[in-house]
């Protein structure tokens, strides 16, 4: 479903920053953790993940470093930066407000909390 894919793309930065808040990870590890921690409900392909990672590097939300694994293989580990932690908190606040607003609309109710 196209709508589901659009929602996921918009949420990728937030969930990736949340995972990186706990520990540095490499790309495949992020894909696996997103799948596992979401109970299989948030599955993302590496082709979608990497452009998001590159955008977050440009925004200084994350940094990356190469590590040699074995004799010839290199892994790129991603690390959340201070700017990324601040952005994550803002994203979570915005997400909560938007989700509450959407729930109000879908359920036909009005919440006391107003979105800013």
Domain CATH number, residue 72: 1.10.10.10
The number of distinct structural domains making up the chain is 1
pTM: 0.84
Flag whether 115 is in a domain. Answer: no
Per the model's pLDDT, the better-predicted residue between 6 and 80 turns out to be 80
Nearest to 35 by CA among 15, 53, 55, 52: 15
> Which string of b and e fits 5-27 if b means at least 16 CB within 10 Å?
eeebeeebbebbbbbbeeebbbb
- Model confidence pLDDT, tens digit, residues 59-104: 999 999 999 988 889 999 999 999 999 999 999 999 898 889 989 9
pLDDT at 105 over 80: yes
Flag whether 111 is in a domain. Answer: no
Domain range spanning residue 49? 2-106
CB 83 within 8 A of CB 60: yes
Per the model's pLDDT, the better-predicted residue between 84 and 5 turns out to be 84
Query: pLDDT band for position 111 (50/70/90)?
Result: low
């Amino acid at each position: 479903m196209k709508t589901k894919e659009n929602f996921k793309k918009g949420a990728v930065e937030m969930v990736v920053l949340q995972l990186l808040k706990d520990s540095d990870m490499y790309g495949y590890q992020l894909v696996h953790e997103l799948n596992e921690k979401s109970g299989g409900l948030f599955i993302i392909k590496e082709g979608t993940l990497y452009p998001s990672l590159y955008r977050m590097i440009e925004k200084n939300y994350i940094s990356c470093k190469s590590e040699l694994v074995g004799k010839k293989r290199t892994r790129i580990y991603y690390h959340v930066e201070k700017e990324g932690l601040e952005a994550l908190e803002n994203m979570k606040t915005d997400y909560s407000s938007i989700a509450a607003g959407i729930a109000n609309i879908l359920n036909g109710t009005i919440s006391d909390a107003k979105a800013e």
